[in-house]
Amino acid sequence: MRLQIDTDERVTVVDVTDDVAAAVPDDVEEGVCTVFVRHTTAGVCVNEREQRLLTDLEDALECLVPADEQYSHDRLDGNADAHLRAMLLGCSVAVPVRDGDLALGTWQSVLFVECDGPRTRTVDVTTTPS
């Protein structure tokens, strides 16, 4: 299944947990659900969806990869910081499926992280039965 995610800020964190859970087929009781971001300037992670933590994530990305640095790739299209941030985040996560549901911890959510918005993005969700 493919998810479409629309963002309205350059850096935005979107909780896609419910959409990912809905993509798990009804006939899969046990397996692995893989969420894959099809873009080089966005990422995905599993963590807590608490607004202050999401702000901290955005701030940490800015500290680790400042937007106002002079990167070589910026001579091409001006978004090297977004590429570097996406590399740190990663392009996929795998979540176990148990009893037909995502086996996430109490505070865990699947978070899509836009690093070069606003944009419309595509995320693939694939469930492999075990």
User: pLDDT tens across 1-60, in order?
Assistant: 999 999 999 999 999 999 999 999 999 999 999 999 999 999 999 999 999 999 999 999
- 29 vs 32: CA distance, rounded Å: 10
Rounded to whole angstroms, what are the CA distances from 44 to 27, 63, 76, 86, 109?
A: 26, 19, 25, 8, 10
State the pLDDT at residue 108. Answer: 98
Q: Which of 124, 125, 117, 120 is nearest to 12 (CA)?
A: 117
State the pLDDT at residue 115. Answer: 98
62: which strand partners?
none
80 pLDDT band, cuts 50/70/90, is: very high
> Residue 92 in contact with residue 18, Cβ under 8 Å?
no
> Residue 56 in contact with residue 116, Cβ under 8 Å?
no
User: What are the residues whose beta carbons fall under 8 Å from the beta carbon of 103, sequence distance 6 or more?
Assistant: 95, 96, 97
Give this prediction's pTM.
Answer: 0.96
